[in-house]
Amino acid sequence: MAKSLADLRPTFVIGAGWHPFQNPSDTHYSVLGLTAIRGALGDAGIPWSEVEQTFVGTALLGMASGRPMLKHLGALGQPVVHIENASASGSAAFHLACAQVAGGLSDVVLVLGVDKRPAGGGAARAPAYQASIADHAIAPVTHFALLADEYLHANGVSPEDVARIAVKNHGNGALNPNAQRQKARSLEEVLNSRFIAGSLTALQCCPVGEGAAAVIVASEDAIRRLGVAGDKPVRIAAGAAASERFDGSDREITTEVIKRALFQSSIEAAQIDIFETHDAFAIEEAFYAEAAGLCPAGHYTKLLQEGAFDIGGKCAVSPSGGLLAMGHPIGPTGVGQIGEITLQLRGQAGPRQHQGAQVGVASMVGLGAVGYAHVLVRP
């Protein structure tokens, strides 16, 4: 019978680093990536020569982006593999890296998420075999605006209620030096920003950007051998992955992977202290937080208004600023979530610290659709 991550040998995140997520620029992706990697290695206190394999999560860079960048750390011949899973590219890379270490094939691996938009272009998707009647008119923002309309109607939720999700996340982003958007916003500013589709305004949509995030995944053997400082390791308790079923959606995928990951780790939803998710559009945070079991269906915005999901509330949701404020450069996004949860569980998140955090869940979906969930716990 197949095993889960939780059945295999213990695995830990021992280092995290970023190049800040930023507006599109002339910065070469190698600069983005190397900055994040050196940050993660420095955080872990280990040299590049100890990394046995690298998993690169990237959706936009094109073929063979990894080695031309990694060689500048020292071209030592370690294997490198690139993973593309749309928005979940970084999460997929992390998932596979965990399996690599937990399964005993490596003791120390690097997970890097790095992306920037190609010159003059956007994110290209593989062409559909058969288009439908309005594909040309349904951009992702319109897709989620339609879902938001259905949710608002079904649950008696107002557009202002959803906009408060963006207010919270912009406020968290203002505390995060790695965030693309570091400006707190009032409810009026969010509501009065440019309308995009339905009730979704520009400040309720993630920005287009670039950046990098890196984490080091290691075994207990490696932690002992390398003398990693005691305050660094955060345990990867569980991981789960899925793709969309014929009658499902992003919400069903999220429900499934989080349920499986919590079951693997013997943790209840009520124990989650930190939740990072795919809030590319503000309404999504409500969808996935409810799918995670943080509150009953339809209740997210009501509890949000009571402060339940603030830093310092019952469960800090998107303490990094989420995709809305931290940004969504695509490849780095899921890796950045792991890095944020690592800082939180170590007690090293500075002004964003959610006191006493013991359990963090990183939830991600990607076009396809695919979904991932990882549970991290304070050792």
Partner 1 sequence: MDLVVERSNEPPGLTGGICRQCGFVFFPYQSLGCERCGAFGQDLTLRTLAASGRVRSGVIVQMGTAQIDAPYGAIEIELDDGPVVRGLSEGPQIVPIGAAVVGQLDQDSDAEAHLRLWFKRAEAN
**Residues binding partner 1 (CB under 8 A):** 129-134, 136-139, 141-143, 145-150, 153, 194-199, 246-247
Residue 150 token pair? 């259905």
As a whole number of angstroms, the distance between CA 144 and CA 128 comes to 20
Name the minimum Å distance from CB 151 to partner 1. Answer: 9
Per the CB < 8 A criterion, the answer to whether 164 and 305 are in contact is: yes
Residue that is written with structure tokens 């950045």 in the block: 336
Per the CB < 8 A criterion, the answer to whether 373 and 127 are in contact is: no
As a whole number of angstroms, the distance between CA 337 and CA 339 comes to 5
197 vs 326, beta carbon nearer partner 1: 197
CA angle (112, 113, 115) in 5-degree steps: 135
As a whole number of angstroms, the distance between CA 235 and CA 237 comes to 6
267 vs 286, beta carbon nearer partner 1: 286
As a whole number of angstroms, the distance between CA 8 and CA 30 comes to 34
In order of 144, 213, 271, 328, 347, the CA distances from 88 in angstroms are 17, 13, 25, 11, 26
Nearest residue to 147 (alpha-carbon basis) of 20, 229, 251, 232:
251
Name the minimum Å distance from CB 157 to partner 1. Answer: 13
Q: Is the previous residue joined to 369 through a cis bond, with omega within 30 degrees of 0? A: yes
Per the CB < 8 A criterion, the answer to whether 254 and 291 are in contact is: yes
Q: Which amino acid is at 146?
A: L
Name the minimum Å distance from CB 247 to partner 1. Answer: 8
Nearest residue to 41 (alpha-carbon basis) of 17, 11, 19:
17
Q: Each residue of 7-21: b (16+ CB within 10 Å) or e?
A: eeebbbbbbbbbbbb
As a whole number of angstroms, the distance between CA 326 and CA 319 comes to 9
